[in-house]
Structure 1
Amino acid sequence: MKKQFIAVEGPIGVGKSSLTHKLSQTYNFYEEKEIITENPFLSDFYEDISKWSFQTEMFFLCNRYKQFQDLALIEQGIVSDYHIHKNKIFANNTLTSSEYNKFSRIYDILTEDLEMPNIIIFLDAELATLKARIAHRNRSFEHQIADDYLLNLKRDYNAYYESLKAEGARVIRIDTTQLDFMKYDEDYQYILELVNPLIGGQDYE
């Protein structure tokens, strides 16, 4: 039977890494962590997106490609705090049309043979909640993130979710605005009640 490969996705600050860690412990799955702080262009990117976007997005793409390659060797279930498709979502918001076309062609070549997640959990939250969570974790390079940038990511993630749902993919969207699954076990149990049917191979309605 094909192994379970879960990706947790959503806009910046929504709680992807926190939920990934808890799910990996609950299901005894391998935990795949996204490379963020190692990107040498990230601080410059948030100060001048138009100038540094292509370098930033290419660094992320190449690193995530290598990480997904390595995941093919993992035999147990996997839960990842990102899906490599997020590269196209972010790039679409930061690159010029010419740059995005080049980036998209490279993405398609790199990912054509990769094993992809077969379950995707989309987390979302209201803008004020995202901003509060970003401020709480206090990453210096995230201080300059504009509201419009976050709103565009929310929009594009929701569009991606709807497209996958229409295709019949095993996906779920969870609004975490009123949830604190790290602090309150009942909130985490609520999420598990939504996710467990997907893990069991059932459709979530």
Structure 2
Amino acid sequence: MILKKYPYIAIEGPIGAGKTSLAQNMANYLECALLLERPEENPFLEKFYSNRARYALPTQLFFLLQRIDQFQPITHANIHARPMVSDFLLEKDQLFARFTLSEPEYALYQKIYQQMKPQAPSPDLVIYLQASPEKLYERIKRRGSIYEKNITEEYLYRLSNCYTQFFHQYEKAPVIIVNSENLNFANNTADFNLLLQRINQMRSAREYFNCGLKEYL
């Protein structure tokens, strides 16, 4: 039933929110295609977290080109033929560019973006995962990824604010905003099933999963 209503589901949220594990679980459960970010392929990413001012632009341009390549073969027609779950939106590239680049770098990035005219199908549903910066930091340290080892809580706090502001204005698709602070969609079947139930029950374009949701403004 979910895929009939939402053939393309995109999962978004800051680093450590649980996007990839939820996307993998949903794709397996719904038996649909899976499109994942591949941050480990970015040769600048580890350097970026050590020296953001120096490596922000090459990091961002690599991600832009990578995401364009990933979305290039995907159209609304083949999504309806074979539904899909992804763990990112193409618009995330603009979000991170505005967040990480200096003004001159952002102006250059915008010129490149406009020349390339990247395209991606709009999702039928966005699942936006939130958690406190402290929880995000705890999860990142626990998974021990080499390229994430220099991420700070201050960076996650600012990034969470950017996501909150972005989704406050986002209107391209229905959004369910999920407080993932105390939910484990990777290993807790009850949490996962409850989320699926809430998605099936959606009646408006913006809904919240967890009455104790916090906004980090």
* Superposition TM-score, scaled by structure 1 size: 0.89
Determine the structure 1 residue equivalent to 2:166: 160
Determine the structure 1 residue equivalent to 2:124: 118
Aligned counterparts, 1:89-128, within 5 A = 89-111=95-117, 113-128=119-134
Determine the structure 2 residue equivalent to 1:182: 186
Paired-residue identity, %: 32
Which of 142, 166, 172 in structure 1 is aligned with 2:176?
172
Deviation at 1:109, TM superposition (A): 4.2
Residue deviations 1:140-182, cap 9 Å, x none? 1211112221111111111111112xx3731111010011122
Determine the structure 1 residue equivalent to 2:44: 41
Q: Structure 1 stretch 41-50 or stretch 183-192: which is displaced more?
A: 183-192
Deviation at 1:2, TM superposition (A): 9.5
| C-alpha distance in 1 between matches for 2:120 and 2:132 | 33
Count of matched residue positions in the alignment of Structure 1 and Structure 2: 201
Determine the structure 2 residue equivalent to 1:148: 154
Q: Structure 1 stretch 176-185 or stretch 72-81: which is displaced more?
A: 72-81
Residue deviations 1:175-199, cap 9 Å, x none? 100111222211111211222245x
Which ranges in structure 2 are unaligned for 5 or more consecutive residues? 208-217
| C-alpha distance in 2 between matches for 1:141 and 1:96 | 22
* Superposition TM-score, scaled by structure 2 size: 0.84
Which ranges in structure 1 are unaligned for 5 or more consecutive residues? none
1:190 maps to amino acid = L
1:29 matches 2:29: no
Deviation at 1:26, TM superposition (A): 1.9
The secondary structure found in structure 2 opposite 1:8 is strand
Indicate if the aligned counterparts of 1:20 and 1:31 stay in contact, CA closer than 8 A: yes
Residue deviations 1:57-98, cap 9 Å, x none? 000000001101122355311110111111111111211112
Indicate if the aligned counterparts of 1:124 and 1:174 stay in contact, CA closer than 8 A: yes
RMSD between superposed Cα atoms in Å: 2.1
Indicate if the aligned counterparts of 1:194 and 1:204 stay in contact, CA closer than 8 A: no
Residues 196, 105 of structure 1: alpha-carbon distance in 2 compared, 3 angstrom cutoff? farther
Q: Structure 1 stretch 43-52 or stretch 167-176: which is displaced more?
A: 167-176
Deviation at 1:17, TM superposition (A): 0.3
